[in-house]
Amino acid sequence: MTQYTSTNDEKESALQREYMTRAARYVERLGRELGRRPACCVVTFGCQMNARDSEKLEGILTGIGYEAVEREEDADFVIYNTCTVRDNANQRVYGRLGYLHSLKDRKPHMKIALCGCMMQEEAVVEKIRKSYRFVDLIFGTHNLFKFAELLVAMFENRETITDIWQETDQIVEELPVSRKYPYKSGVNIMFGCDNFCSYCIVPYVRGRERSRDPREILREIERLVDDGVVEVMLLGQNVNSYGRNLDRPMSFAQLLKEVEQIDGLKRIRFMTSHPKDLSDELIEVMSRSDKICRHLHLPLQAGSDRILQAMNRRYTKAQYLALTEKLRAAMPDLAITTDLIVGFPGETPEDVDETIDVVRRVRFDNAFTFLYSRRTGTPAASMENQVPAEVMREGFDRLLKVVQDTAKERAALLQGRVEEALVEEVNEQDGTLLTGRLSNNMLVHFPGDGSMVGRLADVSLDECHGFYYTGHMIRKADAPLGKTVDGNG
């Protein structure tokens, strides 16, 4: 499903469409040589923002004549949209590049491109250019909007094309987008990060914060709704700081109120929220809204004040606990999820105990728990007292057990209730079941047919299975008045 989103740089968008026309000629020529339509495969590593970027990449590739496929071995063009938050993400890319080399040996016409956060690291690019010379195109996070132009350069040159920008103030969004889902979509509201947490490489690879004009965001969402989207995910590294650098500053809460007014939009999600910037205004807007989902991802990272300070998180354990108490008081049905890091330099078992204490007191609905990953170029990488792997693993295992137990307890609270679910797909394991997502982000599987995908349904949550529910449909929540449907859909 290809469409066009809004822009603040129409001239640049028009230029890139001209490059798409030129690139399409090369793809057409390749198709004649192959006797079929060339295929492309876009592989995404990392976060929701990367996933949205990949939709843009695929939109351009299909726009110039490629057919999108799921597997690298079926493709004539493969692009890896990389992540570099943790070292294992880098290692996964290196491992899969070896596999791509073997494919290219069998298909010399095959093109391989790398982009994304990993490519913003100078050492990575040097390694690829030296050890993976079969890669045809390398670019980073700041010039993704020039993808069509870079494709033309790739087609017209034999050597590797490398184009890495260190920063940009441009935001160009009026480009093709190939959405993965017809009924929901991510929407970038800002780019970059100004927080500089000591363990995190994101500000160095994504740049400083840049907010999109709210009028452009609203126009994009309106077009998405006109195209059948019922749920949007507003995306940014720290959405709570949205709007501060606009010519006419506005808060994230004010933007949400504007988005709420869009007719036909049923659900609003957003991530990620930094605790230090979560305002009372935002809590009030969320609590009064019928559209903003009852789910908040609020990364804690650690429960020890000493470690939080070393991480440069700029809040204390007490402040985080007070914030979550305020959130739950305003919205008792709110699901709170979080990120946790174990093994930050200097962390002791007692510090891990502090994190476990926060998990027990907040009662997170889920938590993404990670071992600390040392990222070259960040302040934490050069800190003394790096935690040994075996100590890190012991703390991780202790924390993970508490996270899992607490999440199961929270999930079970909904058993027997009727909740609204957005039907996302026919269940992969059982074709007689549908999989829906609740407002609190939990999944439920229930009987139904594929015609319900993309629609809302009221579902009885009959049995909790730890991290998901099974149930049955009470009615199609978005059925027209007078046409309520019974449980068998």
CATH class of 176-410: alpha beta
Q: How many CB atoms lie under 10 A from the CB of residue 174?
A: 20
Nearest to 34 by CA among 148, 111, 101: 111
Spatial distance between the Cα atoms of 109 and 316, rounded to a whole number of angstroms = 56
Helix H segments across 199-251? 202-206, 214-226
CATH superfamily for domain 418-475 = Nucleic acid-binding proteins (2.40.50.140)
Q: Which residues contact 396 (CB under 8 A, 6 or more apart)?
A: 342, 343, 369, 371
Query: DSSP character for 231?
Result: E
The whole model's pTM is what?
0.85
Residues 355 and 302: beta-carbon distance below 8 Å: yes
Per-domain residue ranges of the chain: 2-163, 176-410, 418-475
3 state SS of 38: coil
Q: How many CA atoms lie within 13 A of 22 on its CB side?
A: 16
Tell me if 2-163 shares its fold with 418-475. Answer: no
Q: How many CB atoms lie under 10 A from the CB of residue 15?
A: 16
Spatial distance between the Cα atoms of 83 and 168, rounded to a whole number of angstroms = 19
Spatial distance between the Cα atoms of 399 and 401, rounded to a whole number of angstroms = 6
CATH class of 2-163: alpha beta
Residues 335 and 298: beta-carbon distance below 8 Å: no
Q: What is the pLDDT along the chain (489 residues), one digit of tens a residue?
A: 434 333 447 788 889 999 999 999 999 999 999 999 999 999 998 788 888 889 999 999 999 999 999 999 999 999 999 988 878 888 989 999 999 999 999 999 999 999 999 999 888 999 999 999 999 999 998 888 999 999 999 999 989 999 988 777 666 666 778 888 999 999 999 988 999 999 998 888 888 899 999 999 999 999 999 999 999 999 999 999 999 989 899 999 999 999 999 999 999 999 999 999 999 999 999 999 999 999 999 999 999 999 999 999 999 999 999 999 999 999 999 999 999 999 999 999 999 999 999 999 999 999 999 999 998 889 999 999 999 999 999 999 999 999 999 999 999 999 999 999 999 999 989 999 999 999 999 999 999 999 999 999 999 999 999 889 999 999 776 644 333 333 333
Spatial distance between the Cα atoms of 277 and 288, rounded to a whole number of angstroms = 20
**Amino acid type, 68:** A
